[in-house]
Chain A
Amino acid sequence: MAGATSGSGDRGRGLHEEHIERAVLPNGTTVLSRYLPDPDIVAICIGSRAGARFETDETAGAAKFLEKLYLQGTSRRPGPEMVQRPLTIRGGGVSTLAGSEMVVFQSQVRSVDLDAMLDVLSDVLLESTFAQERIENEARVILEELNARKANPNVLAADVFFPAVFGSHPLARSTAGDLENTPRLTRKTIVEYRDRFVVGANTVIAVAGNLPGDQAFAHVEKYFGRMPTGQAAPPSDVPPPPPNPGRIEEQAGSAQARVIMGGPLPGLRSDDRFALSVANAVLGGSGFRLFREIRDLRGLSYDPSPAVVQFPDAGLWMAAAGTDPVNVDTVVQIIDEQVRRLSDEPLSHEDLSNAKAYLDGSLVVGLETFAAQTFQMIRDETYGVRVLSQEHRDGIQRVTTDDVQRVARTYLRPDEATLVVIRP
């Protein structure tokens, strides 16, 4: 076992990097462990650096296929019901998720069932058969999912907005599959994609809960040590796209319109992420500016909400709201005003300190479960940007009102924003 650092397993308030032990298996797999004896549960999250951004026009939709096919059968468990049964009967299950930047496997059990969980997870990762007949079946399922996404205006709005902002950046590629290419993908293409990306050197396994670090490393080595080493995926370092100003209108839904405004951002590797997090908190989580102006003062929407979504090399900001179709222009105008206000007016010291305390506290509240903790652990490791580190906490604390105004002027520009409006 190479590189195991000392770890404590001591009880801390929240999850910090110093609570995490780390090792690298001979096959290149990085293993992270957080030991806490209570509650008597163990969660595992496995992430490979794969996903839609690593697809080409020829392989578009391959990652979504992985999400489905990994649960469709192994040589020992030749069917989806046999894959799930050992964990379902213990109250849990195994789930997979293909995003832009990661393909993720998750499960959790009471610690007495640890071996059953590892047996299923390793079987799924290493022995899935990807049978031709399952590929044909899952292609139909993915097309049904794409249909369902179009029927829900909130989902459709995001599906229109993301590629419009990301333009020719690899992050523009949909994680939901591809209407034309999904049915065309062959078993050979999907298996090649899998064999390129789901390999030791490109995979992180995080374990949290009632399992001491040395035991976690030994268990993971026992079950995943034979995963081929392969190669790490190429680094994600494509600069963010330029803004794509304009208004896109589409029709969906029966009663309410949906508005999303936003534009590109630098990625997580940029130190501007700290000030952008504060700006986003002022619009939403702690400052409630959108909520106050749109919902609380005027009753125009139930769910006005801002977001900052960042990957290692690029990201985007957005402000979204559902509203009665007659109010669309008013809501757009208020979002515009509130985003501009971040550029025009320095934050009060109270706004700034509330946002910092919010960002600090929500990291504790949001990481209550072992499942949430393991997901954050693999995300930090895969992205190479550590939200759980002291450096990150210090970065947030150092943000000044000038910093927020500067990043707002640089990036949060309604005049250059992409606007998506979905109307019934």
Chain B
Amino acid sequence: MSDHASHDDDAKRDDLPNGMAVLTRERDYADVTAISISVRGGSRNEHDDTVGAAHFMEHMFFQGTPSRPTSDAVFGPISARGGWLNAYTSFENINFQAVVKNEDFGLALDTLADMLVNSLFAEDRIDKERQVVLEELIRGKNDPRRYAVELFFKNVWDEHPARNLPIGSRETLANSDRRVLTAFRDANFLASNIVTAVVGDQKHEDVVERVAAAFERMPNGGKPEFLTAPLPAAKSRRIEETIPGTQAQIVLGLPAPGADHADTYALDIVSATLGEVGRRLVGEIRDRRGLASSVGSSYSTLSDVGCWWSMVGTSPGNVDQVVELIVEQMRRIRSEPLTAGELEDAKTYIEGRAVLGLQTSIAFAQYLADREAIGVEPPLDEYLRRVSAVTAADVQRVAQSYLDPDAGTLVLLRPV
């Protein structure tokens, strides 16, 4: 494996007196600065009857503060400089982010801090924004690929708290009133539970000073409890639904360990071999037989749980053949060790991807902030060292442990 000194992991870190961690990566060549603020806590920490409240609450941070009383006042000044402001809510964290020209860093930071510290959560704005979140929900249902993945995630993890998806449902969103939203906020939006990462042409000391000033009034209160759960057992399941249109969607996968587990590195190689670099699935299904326009292999991880899955969209008449081809490739990676060349290919791919994939300032800032906030994944150097230590026997062993085709969760959406 080549020397990976060229990648970009030398972030500097300081912890503010209020407990917030600040990470920076100075890029003196950059034209833009990205800010990513990651708050630990997401849909897996929600109550079953109000799932979706965390994401709904995230929307409310864009609805006004005393000094920026409307959404326009929140977004407008940054947009009018060509920058952008956004947020997402995931299973175990919520991330607020901005990308601006270097000279607008102060404006973006002050806006984000004002949002996080002072948002009003006005009742009338909550009722209006619930409608927007419901529109977001039905928009997702309209996209068959997205809907297939949601059904898979809801089922593959059995009773593990990760089965609660961030978007929620009509019922749980109706249950999420101001009291529910502010309870989630007050439990999790504590300085010691937040990481701010800044990547751009900014000096570390200057960033630390400005973040400390901007978040001076951020409440503090230690680390909220974050319950982990054991890895759910794989169980054979088949979930079938009908959809409009003329294409069927297939997702087949199983639960797998999360980022905290030693097997995570070998599973990255399993997924890259079936997917991007080894092309085993795309080779058999698309390149050789033209059965699908897109074929994916993914290994997704949360801190204590993950899943491997393959996804294919195909004509209804090809469904059985495609499922059989996926199963064949799962069996093959369990029964046959990778060649030395295949193993090396997957490793250099993962290393190169780390450099090219973290090229934009926001990709790198988000990677730093989420990694630190969730607190399980090692730094990039160490992560790549562990990937490079994986052997062909490791790959075969984890495939045997986690890719049993007889215990898969199969989601099948067929046209009406």
Contact = CB atoms under 8 A, between A and B. Distances in A.
Given A256-B142, A359-B82, A299 B129 contact: yes
Nearest to B99: A365
A interface, over-half SS: mixed
Contacts of A192: none
Contact of B29 (A36, A108, A358): A36
Contact of A361 (B81, B132, B294): B81
A383 to B, nearest CB: 22
A154 B141 CA distance: 12
Nearest to B353: A91
B247 A358 contact: no
A26 interface: no
Contact of B345 (A37, A85, A144, A302): A85
Contacts of B349: 88-91
Interface string A102-120: 0000001110010000000
For A108, A151, A295, A424, the residue with the greatest tally of chain B CB atoms inside 10 Å of its CB is: A151
A138 B134 CA distance: 39
Interface string A247-288: 000011111101000000000000000000000000001101
A150 B245 contact: yes
A81 B283 contact: yes
B277 interface: yes
A91 B101 contact: no
Given A152-B142, A302-B136, A92 B356 contact: yes
B170 to A, nearest CB: 11
A151 B243 contact: yes
A238 interface: no
Interface in B281-309: 283, 286-294
B84 to A, nearest CB: 7
A333 interface: no
A422 B265 CA distance: 45
Interface stretch (B68-76, B253-261, B401-409): B68-76
A148 B293 contact: yes
B279 A84 contact: yes
A188 interface: no
Contact of A90 (B142, B289, B352, B359): B352
B80 interface: yes
A138 to B, nearest CB: 7
A220 interface: no
A365 B292 contact: no
A363 interface: yes
Contacts of A41: 355-356, 359
A152 B345 contact: no
Interface in A366-394: 367-369
Given A38-B27, A81-B287, A141 B245 contact: no
B83 A301 contact: no
Contact of A91 (B138, B344, B357): B357
Contacts of B351: 91
A39 B29 contact: yes
Contact of B142 (A138, A286, A355, A424): A424
A40 interface: yes
A256 B287 contact: no
B315 A286 contact: no
Nearest to A72: B287
A300 interface: yes
B322 to A, nearest CB: 11
B71 A140 contact: no
B79 interface: yes
A225 interface: no
B142 A154 contact: yes
Interface in B371-416: 415
B354 interface: yes
B135 A362 contact: no
A89 B29 contact: no
Contacts of B228: none
Interface in A328-381: 354-355, 357-365, 367-369
A110 B143 contact: no
A183 to B, nearest CB: 11
A93 B357 CA distance: 12
B288 to A, nearest CB: 8
Given A79-B287, A141-B293, A424-B142, A148 B313 contact: yes
For A91, A108, A138, A301, the residue with the greatest tally of chain B CB atoms inside 10 Å of its CB is: A91
Interface in B219-257: 243-247
A109 B145 CA distance: 30
B82 A363 contact: yes
Interface string A46-86: 00000000000000000000000000000000011100110
A140 to B, nearest CB: 3
Given A256-B142, A296-B72, A424-B142, A365 B100 contact: yes
For A252, A296, A360, the residue with the greatest tally of chain B CB atoms inside 10 Å of its CB is: A296
Contact of B289 (A89, A137, A150): A137
B287 to A, nearest CB: 5
Nearest to A14: B31
A222 interface: no
Interface string B178-206: 00000000000000000000000000000
Interface in B123-137: 128-136
Interface in A389-424: 424
B360 interface: yes
A298 B131 CA distance: 8
Interface in A282-313: 285-286, 288, 291-292, 295-303
Given A92-B352, A368-B360, A354 B80 contact: yes
Contacts of A14: 31
A147 interface: yes
Contacts of A301: 132, 135
A81 B279 contact: yes
B144 interface: yes
Contact of A364 (B82, B131, B314): B82
A201 interface: no
Nearest to A140: B290
Nearest to A38: B29
Given A110-B355, A144-B290, A144-B291, A89 B27 contact: no
A137 B139 CA distance: 33
B291 A40 contact: no
Contacts of B353: 91
Contacts of B18: none
25 contacts: A39-B359, A41-B359, A80-B283, A91-B353, A91-B355, A138-B290, A139-B290, A141-B286, A142-B293, A144-B247, A148-B293, A150-B247, A151-B244, A152-B145, A252-B244, A254-B142, A288-B75, A298-B128, A300-B135, A322-B135, A358-B79, A359-B82, A363-B82, A364-B82, A365-B84
Interface of A: 11, 13-14, 36-41, 79-81, 84-85, 88-93, 108-110, 113, 136-142, 144-145, 147-148, 150-154, 251-256, 258, 285-286, 288, 291-292, 295-303, 322-324, 354-355, 357-365, 367-369, 424
Given A41-B359, A110-B355, A302-B139, 17 more contacts: A11-B29, A39-B8, A39-B29, A39-B359, A79-B287, A89-B348, A137-B287, A141-B292, A147-B293, A148-B313, A256-B141, A288-B71, A296-B71, A298-B128, A299-B129, A357-B81, A361-B104
